[in-house]
Amino acid sequence: MFLSDSAKQAKQHRQRCERHWKRTGCETDRVAYRSACRTANRLINESRSNYFVNRIDGLVGDASSTGVIVVWIYEFHGNWLTNEIVID
């Protein structure tokens, strides 16, 4: 839906790292897995944010549709995005 190619690849890398860590139980593998988690989460959040910002930007000038999208984002995806959106 909203995931960029880099976010999808980061998720796959995170899953590979997790499987490797679970198989070996090695602390260095756990550290690599946690690093992959942070990277994947950052890319997923950026991708999600860009998706919603682009949806809103595409509705500039259409106040009713913009309002509907903003309410939908807030109700179903929490208020994490409202700090990043500036509506002129």
What are the structural domain ranges in the chain? Answer: 5-81
Q: Quick: pLDDT tens for 72-83.
A: 667 666 655 555
65/51 Cα distance (integer angstroms):
16
pLDDT class of 88 with cuts at 50, 70, 90: very low
Q: What is the greatest pairwise CA distance in the chain?
A: 56
Q: What percent of the chain is helix, strand and coil (3-state, nearest 5)?
A: 80, 0, 20
Distance between CA atoms of residues 10 and 61, nearest Å: 36
Per residue in 7-44, pLDDT tens?
999 999 999 999 999 999 999 999 999 999 999 999 99
Written as six digits, the tokens of 86 are: 């500036």
Query: CA-CA distance, 36 to 38, in Å (whole number)?
Result: 5
